[in-house]
Structure 1
Amino acid sequence: MSRTPSRRSLLRGLTVVGAAVIGFDPATRSWAAEGTQPDTGADAALATVPRLDGTLVMDEASLAAASEDYGHMVHHRPVAVLRPGSASDVVAMIRFCNDHDLPVAPRGQGHQTFGQAQVQDGLVIETATLAEIGPLCPQSSTVTVGAGAKWSDVARVTLAHGLTPPVLTDYIELSVGGTLSVGGIGGQAHRYGVQVDNVAELRVVTGAGELVRCSPARRSDLFHAVLAGLGQCAVIVEATLRLVRAPERVRHYLLTYHDLETFVEDQRLLVEEDRFAYVGGQISADAGGAFRVHTLEAVAYGPPVGPAPDDAALLRGLRHSGVEQADLPYFDFLDRLAPLVASLKEAGFWTYAHPWLNLILPGDRAAALSAPVLDALTPAELGPGVIQLYPMRRDRLTTPLFRAPDDPLPYLFDVLPATPPDDSAAVDRRLAANRAAYEAAAAAGGTQYPVGSIPFSREDWQTQFGEAWPRLAEAKWRYDPRQLLTPGQGIF
């Protein structure tokens, strides 16, 4: 872009603690604000920044926030943060970054745990300002939303029309663009696949700064390189999502088990017979501190998408030792973690380190691979964290870059500890344990679900993507030729 506006009009909304930004100094790799440029005539050498609809900021609070994430372990500091007012802002700034060799990372709600959306000495694009929801098309059962929209807000809008996204993560305050970049797993995945399997169309800005609309029928190579592509080829700015009819109420079951194999086998039975719309599972410690309390979470959708739940039929043949059940409005079920999250924040646990382990295990090895991890874990190491184990169906997982074992029923296995942020030794132990667990899983054909904290090399990423690696590498060179996008993933 070539513009020659006056100095004061160079950049609408571009501020640093109230001072107008007048450009970028390639020599010092820093932004220059009015009143801070050198007195040596270097003003002429400044690269002017494009006019924006949103804001570009570099105040201390914004830069510090962008060098943090939910993991609180990695801290890469950018030189500026873009809060776009439009997709055109993303285009303009990615082109600017190409001209000046500045790395770029998109950031949604900052819920990554290992620096994946951070960038050292580059630009962070906060997509939260791209949060428009609509239009919703009842005829095609789709809704178009901005990448920064939260799934909770999308669900509220679609439910007003009797529709819902088919798969929702258990924590629904995540951004659409963020989960579509990694996959988006929920307990409905055995029916509908993961969130990336339910996207009709994307609008993205490539690493070269091109605004592109893509779908399975239009620029399909880019479409399939972006979904679960970890931000390597383009920044999602908008997504058109498929919807399904929503129930008004659900019946929520919590079934207790004290044997891991039985727990896993009953989950497998429920998924194979498709008895429930949602199948999940958590593991917690018993009174002696051993992780031997297994809770199978199952949800039956009622009218208008299903009949009134029949307890006897739904629970037939299961070998649980206890059951709790409750009837809930559908959105209350989706938002059931809200009280827990509020209590964690109030107690200060939200600011703890979160060295998470997130794996997808072959179904026939799910118990064998998870048992040693559980046996080695202590309640003190987990802290106020969560352990999850539940199955998906491989034939519903259709997105090429969402990597899962070649098994009919792969299992998600999450160990999500919360560790005091000043206990670096405990964090290091968890990271080492995560790496060991990954190596055992990978040797059996398992994969990483890449939202957690597993030390990974470039060779590991090639193993992770397997047969899809050449496609991703080709798309990276085609759509991000200067290799600027999302370096925090450590893939290229």
Structure 2
Amino acid sequence: MPTSICRSRCSRSCRRWSATGTPSTDSSRTGSSRRSSINAFDTSLSVGRLCTDEVRLAQAADDFGHCVSARPAAVVVPGSTAEVQGVISYARTRGLRVAARGAGHSTYGQSQCADGIVLDMTGLRAVHEVAADRVVVDAGALWSDVVDASLTRRLTPPVLTDYLGTTVGGTLSVGGFGGASHRHGAQTDNVLALEVVTGTGTRLTCSATENRELFDSVRGGLGRFGVITRATLSLTPARERTRWYRIWYDDLAFFLADEQRFVDEGMYDHVQGRIIPAADGTWRYRIELARHYTRRQPPDAAGLFPACGRARDVEQAEDLVHADFINRMAAGESRLRAAGDWFRPHPWLNVLLPAHATAAFVRSALAGLTVDTLGRSGLVMAYPVPTARLRTPFVRTPAATTAFMFALLRTTAPGTERSAVSANRSLYERALAVDAVAYPVNALPMSAADWRRHFGPRWHDFVQAKHRFDPHGVLTPLEHETR
């Protein structure tokens, strides 16, 4: 949330924080004493805008998932990296926890912090520089901000998620997958450098050649080692237009096999698959393919048109301005907001399945799913990503040449989210049985043992990075982790 908005919403309860003010001597970890400590904090110097009003705290206690809630003691909207340092240093000396929050698109409290401090990173939203092959942006910038700036130079990030309303720092903390991941990996694989404030309050820059351990830790590190404050991202040339194909199937096996074939052939810039309930209670499968092109060099319709003898139907190809294709979810978001579905619970589950086990797993998952349990605006996705493209150490992949991203994106009625989360747990355990791994943006309770299994051979590295970069355990408590 920009600082100007915060001022208008919490004029009585937002004030400037001090980096050097004298804190209270009471170090109790109870919620009331923590809030008292924050309220007693000297405000003589600027370290961000402090918000403690009920409206702002309630917002920070919620997220897009609407499945769990943890109320912080305060929300701080930093306006600089130095202010992030000040907040983390203060929290460390007071025994407080800190969680960074971007656009609030988490689904299970990943950016919540009970009785601690939520850093609202959208106060850091500037796009600083667009060069020939890179862009420098604040971590609180939305991906739509990045695209708006880069397209003016006819450039684009290699990988974009379908929805552009998430923040750069948010997706870089988990991975960031999209229809171009079969070519370019995750968004974390397309980062050149980062500015990070660690759990000790230290500001560091890191890249593949500088502070490499930190660079490999914070990308896909779930916010456990540092707060990303600025990122330098790769850019590639953007084409003017996109030709978009949608191919329908009745058979799951044919659908998955053709997705794999299109990825292997390498002709398409975008490959994704959607699974959609039909009126007769069965499922339909749709592959979405896209090719980006310039007006002077349109794709050869005969050579590019997909050979799909096993498909039920091939829709007429649609030609779009490239910017409209990138932001194709915007119209859907407006419809969901108008219908109210945007504000319903979203108990989502995402797993990466080994290709050989995908068909059987998806068929089993769909057998236990109905239109009612998926939700009228719910969605199921399945699409292949070669695991060699996924090079970020903490973005885990199954031991297979190709993984299929399976995303069960439910929208449920309020009050039914607990049963959906329980179903997610059951489905996750079935996924583990076929050697799948979670893409950890889920509405899914995870135990310490689950995390050890998730990171597998990387678990030791994960623990060591925590000891090195956040030795006092200040950052991103997993509030809804099971014990």
* TM beyond 0.5: yes
Equivalent position to 1:198, from 190, 199, 204: 190
Q: What is the TM-score when the length of structure 1 is the normalising length?
A: 0.90
1:308 partner SS = coil
Written as runs of structure 1 = structure 2, the 5 A alignment for 1:225-236 is 225-236=217-228
Using the TM superposition, give the Cα deviation of residue 456 of structure 1 relative to its aligned residue in structure 2, in angstroms: 1.1
Counterparts of 1:191 and 1:204 in 2: how far apart (Å)? 28
Matched, 1:29 2:34: yes
Equivalent position to 1:380, from 367, 372, 379: 372
Counterparts of 1:340 and 1:88 in 2: how far apart (Å)? 38
Give the residue type in structure 2 aligned to 1:48: D
Q: What is the TM-score when the length of structure 2 is the normalising length?
A: 0.92
Q: What residue is the counterpart of 2:299 in the other structure? A: 308
Q: What residue is the counterpart of 2:4 in the other structure? A: none
Q: Judge conservation of contact 1:251–1:309 (CA < 8 Å) in 2.
A: no
Give the residue type in structure 1 aligned to 2:42: T
Using the TM superposition, give the Cα deviation of residue 104 of structure 1 relative to its aligned residue in structure 2, in angstroms: 0.4
Q: What residue is the counterpart of 2:102 in the other structure? A: 108
Counterparts of 1:248 and 1:165 in 2: how far apart (Å)? 14
Matched, 1:17 2:17: no
Using the TM superposition, give the Cα deviation of residue 447 of structure 1 relative to its aligned residue in structure 2, in angstroms: 0.6
Counterparts of 1:445 and 1:453 in 2: how far apart (Å)? 20
1:182 partner SS = coil
Matched, 1:79 2:79: no
* Total equivalences in the alignment: 464
Counterparts of 1:187 and 1:157 in 2: how far apart (Å)? 21
Give the residue type in structure 1 aligned to 2:391: T
Matched, 1:474 2:460: no
Give the residue type in structure 1 aligned to 2:35: S
Give the residue type in structure 1 aligned to 2:12: V
Matched, 1:398 2:391: yes
Give the residue type in structure 2 aligned to 1:402: V
Q: What residue is the counterpart of 1:132 in the other structure? A: 126
Per-residue Cα deviation, 1:407-440 (whole angstroms, up to 9, x for no partner): 111000011111111x2xx322211221111111
Q: Judge conservation of contact 1:275–1:314 (CA < 8 Å) in 2.
A: no
1:64 partner SS = helix
Counterparts of 1:128 and 1:31 in 2: how far apart (Å)? 26
Q: Judge conservation of contact 1:24–1:30 (CA < 8 Å) in 2.
A: no
Q: What residue is the counterpart of 1:284 in the other structure? A: 276
Equivalent position to 1:450, from 409, 426, 440: 440
Matched, 1:294 2:285: yes
Counterparts of 2:240 and 2:212 in 1: how far apart (Å)? 36
Give the residue type in structure 2 aligned to 1:159: L
Q: What residue is the counterpart of 1:407 in the other structure? A: 400
Q: Judge conservation of contact 2:71–2:115 (CA < 8 Å) in 1.
A: yes
Residue 446 to residue 18, structure 1, CA distance change in 2 (3 Å): closer
Q: Judge conservation of contact 1:344–1:350 (CA < 8 Å) in 2.
A: yes
Counterparts of 1:411 and 1:215 in 2: how far apart (Å)? 29
Per-residue Cα deviation, 1:372-414 (whole angstroms, up to 9, x for no partner): 1111100011111111110111111100000111211100001
Counterparts of 2:417 and 2:293 in 1: how far apart (Å)? 43
Residue 306 to residue 84, structure 1, CA distance change in 2 (3 Å): farther
2:383 partner SS = strand
Q: Judge conservation of contact 1:247–1:306 (CA < 8 Å) in 2.
A: no
Does 51-60 or 78-87 show the bigger shift? Answer: 51-60
Matched, 1:460 2:453: no
Give the residue type in structure 2 aligned to 1:299: A
Counterparts of 2:392 and 2:161 in 1: how far apart (Å)? 17
Using the TM superposition, give the Cα deviation of residue 311 of structure 1 relative to its aligned residue in structure 2, in angstroms: 4.4
Q: Judge conservation of contact 2:13–2:52 (CA < 8 Å) in 1.
A: no
Counterparts of 2:111 and 2:43 in 1: how far apart (Å)? 23
Equivalent position to 1:88, from 82, 85, 92: 82
1:70 partner SS = coil
Counterparts of 1:305 and 1:293 in 2: how far apart (Å)? 36
Q: Which runs of 5+ in 1 are unaligned?
A: 1-11, 38-45
Q: Judge conservation of contact 2:374–2:411 (CA < 8 Å) in 1.
A: yes
Counterparts of 1:168 and 1:389 in 2: how far apart (Å)? 17
Residue 18 to residue 222, structure 1, CA distance change in 2 (3 Å): closer
Q: Judge conservation of contact 1:106–1:125 (CA < 8 Å) in 2.
A: yes
Matched, 1:161 2:166: no
Q: What residue is the counterpart of 1:40 in the other structure? A: none
Counterparts of 2:72 and 2:297 in 1: how far apart (Å)? 50
Q: What residue is the counterpart of 1:428 in the other structure? A: 418
Per-residue Cα deviation, 1:196-228 (whole angstroms, up to 9, x for no partner): 000000000001100000001101000000000
Counterparts of 1:316 and 1:51 in 2: how far apart (Å)? 66
Q: Judge conservation of contact 1:448–1:464 (CA < 8 Å) in 2.
A: yes
Q: Judge conservation of contact 2:67–2:418 (CA < 8 Å) in 1.
A: no
Using the TM superposition, give the Cα deviation of residue 484 of structure 1 relative to its aligned residue in structure 2, in angstroms: 1.5
Give the residue type in structure 2 aligned to 1:399: T
Q: Judge conservation of contact 2:195–2:228 (CA < 8 Å) in 1.
A: yes
Per-residue Cα deviation, 1:170-210 (whole angstroms, up to 9, x for no partner): 00111000000000000100000010000000000001100
Per-residue Cα deviation, 1:281-319 (whole angstroms, up to 9, x for no partner): 1101112222x2001011011127975243444402552
Q: Judge conservation of contact 2:157–2:236 (CA < 8 Å) in 1.
A: yes
Provide the alpha-carbon RMSD of the alignment: 2.2
Using the TM superposition, give the Cα deviation of residue 441 of structure 1 relative to its aligned residue in structure 2, in angstroms: 1.2
Counterparts of 2:297 and 2:427 in 1: how far apart (Å)? 40
Residue 306 to residue 189, structure 1, CA distance change in 2 (3 Å): farther
2:62 partner SS = coil
Matched, 1:319 2:310: yes
Residue 259 to residue 129, structure 1, CA distance change in 2 (3 Å): same
Residue 137 to residue 312, structure 1, CA distance change in 2 (3 Å): closer
Give the residue type in structure 2 aligned to 1:100: R
Q: What residue is the counterpart of 2:476 in the other structure? A: 486
1:298 partner SS = strand
Per-residue Cα deviation, 1:65-112 (whole angstroms, up to 9, x for no partner): 000000111110001111011010000010000000100000000000
Residue 257 to residue 119, structure 1, CA distance change in 2 (3 Å): same
Residue 442 to residue 84, structure 1, CA distance change in 2 (3 Å): same
Equivalent position to 1:183, from 175, 182, 193: 175
Using the TM superposition, give the Cα deviation of residue 269 of structure 1 relative to its aligned residue in structure 2, in angstroms: 0.2
Matched, 1:418 2:411: yes
1:361 partner SS = strand
Residue 21 to residue 330, structure 1, CA distance change in 2 (3 Å): closer
Residue 270 to residue 306, structure 1, CA distance change in 2 (3 Å): farther
Matched, 1:224 2:216: yes
Matched, 1:99 2:93: yes
Written as runs of structure 1 = structure 2, the 5 A alignment for 1:246-261 is 246-261=238-253
Percent identity, aligned pairs only?
Answer: 38
Counterparts of 2:265 and 2:371 in 1: how far apart (Å)? 34
Counterparts of 1:479 and 1:394 in 2: how far apart (Å)? 28
Written as runs of structure 1 = structure 2, the 5 A alignment for 1:58-69 is 58-69=52-63
Q: Which runs of 5+ in 2 are unaligned?
A: 1-6
